[in-house]
Amino acid sequence: MPIIDADAHVIETERTWDFIDPSVARYRPVLVGQEGQPNNQLWMVDGKLRRRASLFREPQDRTGPRARNTEAPEEAREMADLGVRLHHMDQLGIDVQVLHNTIFIEAVADRREVDVAVTRGWNRWLADIWEKGNGRFRWSCVLPLTSMNDAVDEIRFAKEHGAVAVCMRSLEAGRTIPDPYFYPIYEEAQRLNMAIAIHIANGNPMVCDALRSPYDSGGGFSTFRALTAVACHAYILSKLPQQFPDLRWGFIEASAQWIPWVSHEAATRFASAGKPFPDNVFKEYRIYVTCQTDDDLPYIMQYAGEDNIVTGTDYGHQDPSSNIDCFSILRNRKDVDPEAVEKIFDDNPRALYGL
């Protein structure tokens, strides 16, 4: 069966920012090392230290009960050699990867001119990758949300250059996804048949600092993953499903274990308001969620059905969602119907991303 990797990544390097327009090259991010910590470089953007750069780390142990394979060639992770990446995809049986960013998982720029320059440069890097990828790399664009006119322009550029989704964070400064401020984005994405991809992320630095835990090594459960479920709950309770009836929503890289909880909580609030709750709110409201190989899929599908679950390798990362063998593992599960697996691999991501 065709396999669509609904959540793969690119790792930004200094080469990424060669795609920033020369007239604003002074805004390009710069790698900054920390004394005595050669593997802990940070991006300096607009005079501030931002998210840590993802450098090569030793492969993880693959022998334990929850072992995961996250190994990928460095030149493939960083898109330095697209042939290496495509060859590795062939080995994994992956036909198409939908590429998401790494650096924008947290806020990157405060000033509008920097925000525009950096996001435009990133989108043009991905456009170049798409153009050279023989149709096998699609992507979600990033937006300068400090300037709505520029954001809409970027959506149009991205659509013309292979993008299939608009990347949004569950929390953006002081705004959540139902905020009317974002309506021009939703209107344009719906018009262009692009999905909204709520990838695990947090665009509020103060909330990031408050939730970041020294006991959650690299997992970002509070900071990123839990907020993805919160964003889905907010979407269901909002007017967005009715205001944008053709817009599809993907909630990416936070597992699917929260689906029964969010569905139950939303149904309770619908009942309190005297409103009928859909038999399958995920299907009716066009919500797609990425699952992990160890999710309790038979239980989850009681709430979401078989048509709204997708999966991905999280290619290039080494966090709790990463597993480049996820497709072979899911194919070998005995508790999931093979027809449901085929939908997760092909039909569902094809519907989410309009492929």
- Residues facing residue 196 across a β-bridge: 166, 249
Decide if 10 contacts 101 (C-beta within 8 A). yes
pLDDT digits (tens, 9 = 90+) for 320-331: 888 999 999 999
pLDDT of residue 259: 98
pLDDT of residue 33: 81
pLDDT of residue 39: 67
Q: Which residues contact 297 (CB under 8 A, 6 or more apart)?
A: 256, 291, 309, 333, 335, 336, 340
What is the DSSP-derived secondary structure letter of residue 313? -
**DSSP strands (E only) in 253-347:** 287-291, 309-311
pLDDT of residue 61: 52
pLDDT of residue 319: 81
pLDDT digits (tens, 9 = 90+) for 225-255: 999 999 999 999 999 999 999 999 999 999 9
- Domains detected in the chain: 4-353 (3.20.20.140)
What is the DSSP-derived secondary structure letter of residue 248? -
Decide if 61 contacts 158 (C-beta within 8 A). no
pTM for this entry: 0.95
From the centroid of its chain, how far is CA 79? 17
pLDDT of residue 37: 67
pLDDT digits (tens, 9 = 90+) for 93-151: 999 999 999 999 999 999 999 999 999 999 999 999 999 999 999 999 999 999 999 99
- Ranges of the chain whose pLDDT falls below 50: 56, 65
The residue type found at 173 is A
pLDDT of residue 92: 96
Query: What kind and span of H or E run contains 88?
Result: helix 82-92
